[in-house]
Amino acid sequence: MATILDIARLSGVSKSTVSRVINNHPHVSEDSRTKVMEAIEKLSFVRNARGVHLRTQSTKTIGVTIPDLDHPYFSPLVGMIASKCRNVGYKIVVFQTFYSIEEEYEIYEKLTENELDALIITHTLLSEQEIKQRVRNNVVLICNEPLQTRHLDVFSLDERDAVYSSTQYLLKEGRNHLLMCMDEEITPLQQQRWEGFKQAHLDLNKICTIQQKVSGYATIEEGLLLGDEIFSGQCNYDGILAGSDFLAAGLLSSAKKHGVSVPKELSIIGFDNHSICLTTFPALSSIKNQTELMVKDLVSCLLDRLDGKEFATVRKVYKGALVIRGT
């Protein structure tokens, strides 16, 4: 592997000049430039990023945590982040946490070891204090998780409001016994949803019946299982708020299997407005979020932080909207 020293020797200039040519610096004579370019061509030289990283104290790499790459909401979210970052010269390293605190710890360590210029957290089981303590003074942004923070920038969706208005919609439509599906892990996000659910009942003077817990993945399979549980006996619910469209699709499929008529006897609302909503029968109603806008703002803030700009902690919240379809 040729280094800039080899190029320097072959072209009869110094390492510095070679470096200048590579980095398109001005004030290099046309003559030197040509000689260097020729040498580069001849030895098929490619710059070694490892040297650059050490010298410049940056790897142009951003880490992103994601619970699981096999996830219909987080996966596209990270994809969006990755393309936006790429457009401004940064690569993305994806770290799956598998909903485990230990995995999270390891990721934060990578950050402090300077492999990453910054970290974006899309899902966490920790509090701000715990995160802050582990990531030290590195650049860290929170995306999608409505964490209460004082030192970290947060971009999140208004989960409380989204659930609040969807719940009100169901209640006003005459549904009375609503079920809300939550994860086992009580994250701030889950809590907000639950608050919205309760408040909507309160404001309409309705009795808020039951919450149902399912495990943390919100998959189709879990929807099918949960559905078997709910619909096999006497089903007391006439409305369900599912934590994700995939969970909702599983529930819907199970309801049909058990002879529960949707939307006549039961209404189901999903979350995220994934296109799977269009393939179920009837088509799934769902809550749609401004994910794209959120990511755009996030990346713009990230760049400012990386530039070392000083400004108060950012907290942005984006409103969701209920998309009414057949369920």
* Element of type H or E holding 172: helix 159-172
Instruction: Among 48, 129, 212, 313, indicate the residue that binds its own copies (CB under 8 A).
Output: 48
Which one, 7 or 182, has the nearer CB to DNA? 7
Instruction: Among 9, 15, 33, 91, indicate the residue that binds its own copies (CB under 8 A).
Output: 91
Residue type present at position 38: E
Contact set with DNA (CB under 7 A):
1, 3-5, 12-20, 22-23, 26-29, 31-32, 47-48, 50-52, 54-57
Which one, 171 or 220, has the nearer CB to its own copies? 220
Q: Are 144 and 75 in contact (CB under 8 A)?
A: no
* Element of type H or E holding 197: helix 188-203
CA distances from 73 to 109, 122, 312 (A): 26, 11, 29
Point out which residues pair with 65 in neighbouring strands: 95, 121
Which one, 36 or 157, has the nearer CB to DNA? 36
- Under the binding rule (CB under 8 A), the answer on residue 173 touching its own copies is no
Q: Are 251 and 226 in contact (CB under 8 A)?
A: yes
* Element of type H or E holding 93: strand 91-96
DSSP string, 13-77: S-HHHHHHHHTT-SS--HHHHHHHHHHHHHTT----HHHHHHHHT---EEEEEES-SS-TTHHHH
Q: Quick one: what does residue 244 bind among DNA, its own copies, none, with the CB cut-off 5 to 8 Å set by partner type?
A: none
Which one, 194 or 246, has the nearer CB to its own copies? 246
Closest distance of CB 242 from its own copies, Å: 12
Q: Which two tokens stand for residue 240?
A: 């369900």
Phi, psi angle pair for 130, to nearest 5°: -65, -45
- Under the binding rule (CB under 8 A), the answer on residue 188 touching its own copies is no
Closest distance of CB 299 from its own copies, Å: 15
Which one, 95 or 237, has the nearer CB to its own copies? 95
Instruction: Among 3, 32, 253, 290, indicate the residue that binds its own copies (CB under 8 A).
Output: 253
Instruction: Among 37, 93, 306, 317, indicate the residue that binds its own copies (CB under 8 A).
Output: 93
Which one, 25 or 319, has the nearer CB to DNA? 25
- Under the binding rule (CB under 8 A), the answer on residue 92 touching its own copies is yes
Q: Are 224 and 254 in contact (CB under 8 A)?
A: yes
Instruction: Among 75, 199, 211, 290, indicate the residue that binds its own copies (CB under 8 A).
Output: 75
Q: Are 298 and 132 in contact (CB under 8 A)?
A: no
Question: Binding segment for its own copies among 46-54, 157-165, 174-182, 317-325 (CB under 8 A)?
Answer: 46-54
Considering only CA atoms, which of 264, 276, 268 is closest in space to residue 322? 268
Tokens 């964490």 correspond to what residue? 147
Closest distance of CB 27 from DNA, Å: 3
Q: Quick one: what does residue 3 bind among its own copies, DNA, none, with the CB cut-off 5 to 8 Å set by partner type?
A: DNA
Instruction: Among 186, 281, 313, 319, indicate the residue that binds its own copies (CB under 8 A).
Output: 281
Close Cβ partners of 255 (under 8 Å, ≥ 6 residues apart)? 227, 231, 262, 266, 268
Instruction: Among 5, 101, 186, 278, indicate the residue that binds its own copies (CB under 8 A).
Output: 278
Instruction: Among 79, 100, 185, 293, indicate the residue that binds its own copies (CB under 8 A).
Output: 79
Phi, psi angle pair for 51, to nearest 5°: -65, -45
**Residues found near its own copies in the complex (CB under 8 A):** 44, 46-51, 53-54, 57, 59, 61, 68-72, 75-76, 78-80, 82-83, 86, 91-96, 98, 109-110, 112-115, 136, 219-221, 224, 246, 249-250, 252-253, 256, 275-276, 278-281, 283
